[in-house]
Structure 1
Amino acid sequence: MSGYLLRRSIGALIVMWAVATLVFFMLRIVPGDPFAAMMADAGDMEAVEALRRKFGLDQPMYIQYLKWFSNALQGDFGTSIYGARVPVQQLLLEAIPRTLSIAGLSFIIALIIAVPAGLIAATKRNTGWDHGVTLFAFLGLSMPDFWLAILLIVFLAVNISWLPAIGYEPLSAGFWPWLSHLILPAIAVGTGFAAIIARMIRSAMLEVLKTDYMRVARAKGLKQSTLMIYHALPNALIPVVTVIGIAFALLMSGAVVVENVFSIKGLGRLLIQGILNRDYPVVQGAILVVSAIFVFSNLLVDMLYGVIDPRIRYDS
């Protein structure tokens, strides 16, 4: 398995390099630059050229790329063109914990909802419980993240004042202030994720329940809970884990929109502001981090296959 993981890790690094390179050149192919837009009203072209020289945008594109890539290998993503020349690393270090907090809590909420719902729907097929889970999945997949976020703000933050409507508190400020600012965005992001996982668990469990070894286990007189948890669920996890790995990466894209609704300065909001301002260093750094999360979440899923099913041996 070590050989397989080494190959997959090298492939992951190549994918990240390709994404970073593509983003670098696509940003610069678009006509104009951030300084021309910044100084458009002033009409001071000498100041624009001075800023271009300062940030190296007057050099040939391949030289810009080589300098950026060599610095990125050392963890230096440059400084923000806007934002008082703050280093991009500092902006990312402030934004990453916020986005990962939302994604992590969304993941936990989704699993808490989806696993029992999927098991109940599979064991009580074509009953009211199954129809209820199907309805929840349909609604969860149909509601956009931002629309659900606005509803949560209106009902739980404005009308009832149970939870804060906007903002973020770091964990250093206390556990409850940190958690209370994450609950609403996590529910908004995690609801659709829970719907996907619940339907996937139901489908995978129904396939497993038809197998011969499950009939033998029932003939032995095992309890229904023992059959479902210790026999059926572990054998249904392979397709479920695949979907969970993909969906966890997609939580990052969901957080992009929800962060703007709740005014949380995470990766999504940082990326959108960077794109609107044509802040090259910020956009390149943020996309590199997001692509790393996507790539390595898939790598983690591949590693879990061998843990869940010992029959899977990559080296063979």
Structure 2
Amino acid sequence: MLLFAAGKVLQTLMVLLIVSVVSFTLLKLAPGDPIQIMLGTENSPEAYASLMKQLGLDRPMVEQYFHWLKNFVTGDWGVSYVGKAPIFQYAFIEALPVTLTLAVSALALSILIGVPLGVLSATRRGSGWDAITSVFTLTGTSFPSFYLGILLIWLFGVKLGLFPTMGFVAPWNDFWGGITHMTLPAITLSIYFLAMIVRMTRANLIEVLEQPYIAAARARGEPNWRVVWVHGLRNILMPLVTILGLQLGALLQGAVLTETVFSLPGIGQMITNAVLNREYGIVQAGVMITACLFITTNLLVDLAYPYLDPRLRPR
């Protein structure tokens, strides 16, 4: 088991290394001159050359990459030339908790509502509930999240005044204030994943409930809730966990639009502003943080497989 885990960790580190090389290279090839932006329109060639040497941009690209990688690993991510603040403080300490709060809230909402709806739809196949659930899942997977966010702001924020329309309050500082500020963004981001979880749960549970061991459990006189929620649900955990892990990238991608719509100071809005200001150091930090979140989640999914299915445990 330790060898299995070590192999997965090694694969994760290799993927992160490849992501860092590709993202660093593409950002270097991106249009725009950050030094020109830093110095402004009026500058001398001497000042331009001095700042380029100070930032190490006159070195070969390979040398620049290894210098950046060493600093990134040690926590020296540079300084934002617009905000005049350390990038590590801006990205890791300030923006990352906002994105994690939004992502965890949306994921929790999707699981807590999506799994029961999927079970209800599977156990009442062909009923009115099943038809309503099918319409909801089709709408949820096809409705643009940014447009949904605007509608929620207009209805629940402007018209009814039930929730704030923008800004972020940390739940660990003000729990109820954080909940009210995060409700509309979490609903906006979770709708697509909620609909997908409902569809996955329904499809897999219908297949599982037709298996012989389910018939045997019913024949033993076990109550229906135990047959469904213990024997049935336990055997759909692997595909459910898999789809959750694979969809984290889409969740983080959706967080960019959601944070922009609701003015949340998270990773998505940070990257958007950094691209507009040509702050490639911040963009690189945001890309690496997002990649780490996505790859780490998939690593945890891989490590969870042997616990979900004993047949996959190494002998």
TM over 0.5: yes
1:77 aligned counterpart, secondary structure = coil
Q: Which runs of 5+ in 1 are unaligned?
A: none
* Backbone CA RMSD of aligned residues: 1.5
Contact 2:32 2:278 in 1 (8 A): no
* Distance (Å, rounded) in 2 between the aligned partners of 1:233 and 1:214: 11
- Equivalent residue for 1:261? 261
Q: Which amino acid aligns with 2:87?
A: V
* Distance (Å, rounded) in 2 between the aligned partners of 1:218 and 1:114: 25
CA deviation vs aligned residue, 1:32-68 (integer Å, no higher than 9, x gap): 4212245563364443333322212122222211211
Q: Which runs of 5+ in 2 are unaligned?
A: none
- Equivalent residue for 2:13? 13
- Equivalent residue for 2:89? 90
- Equivalent residue for 2:294? 294
Deviation at 1:295, TM superposition (A): 0.4
CA, structure 1 residues 154+234, in 2 after alignment: closer, same or farther (shift >3 Å)?
same
Contact 1:249 1:297 in 2 (8 A): no
Normalising by structure 2, we get a TM-score of 0.95
Contact 2:38 2:81 in 1 (8 A): no
CA deviation vs aligned residue, 1:90-128 (integer Å, no higher than 9, x gap): 011100100000001101111121011100111011111
- Equivalent residue for 2:75? 75
Contact 1:255 1:268 in 2 (8 A): yes
Q: Which amino acid aligns with 1:280?
A: Y
- Equivalent residue for 1:165? 165
* Distance (Å, rounded) in 1 between the aligned partners of 2:206 and 2:228: 11
Q: Which amino acid aligns with 1:6?
A: A
Listed as ranges, the matches of 1:15-94 within 5 Å are: 15-39=15-39, 41-42=41-42, 44-84=44-84, 86-92=85-91, 93-94=93-94
Deviation at 1:25, TM superposition (A): 1.2
* Distance (Å, rounded) in 1 between the aligned partners of 2:48 and 2:164: 43
Q: Which amino acid aligns with 2:14?
A: I
Deviation at 1:167, TM superposition (A): 0.3
- Equivalent residue for 2:127? 127
Q: How many residues align?
A: 314
- 35-44 or 292-301: bigger deviation: 35-44
Contact 2:114 2:197 in 1 (8 A): yes
Contact 1:107 1:248 in 2 (8 A): no
* Distance (Å, rounded) in 2 between the aligned partners of 1:285 and 1:180: 29
Normalising by structure 1, we get a TM-score of 0.95
CA deviation vs aligned residue, 1:209-256 (integer Å, no higher than 9, x gap): 111111111222222111101111101111111011122342111111
* Distance (Å, rounded) in 1 between the aligned partners of 2:38 and 2:249: 34
* Distance (Å, rounded) in 1 between the aligned partners of 2:60 and 2:213: 66
Q: Which amino acid aligns with 1:229?
A: W
- Equivalent residue for 1:308? 308
Q: Aligned residues: percent identity?
A: 37
* Distance (Å, rounded) in 1 between the aligned partners of 2:43 and 2:74: 37
* Distance (Å, rounded) in 2 between the aligned partners of 1:126 and 1:136: 15
CA deviation vs aligned residue, 1:264-297 (integer Å, no higher than 9, x gap): 1100011111122221211111111100011010
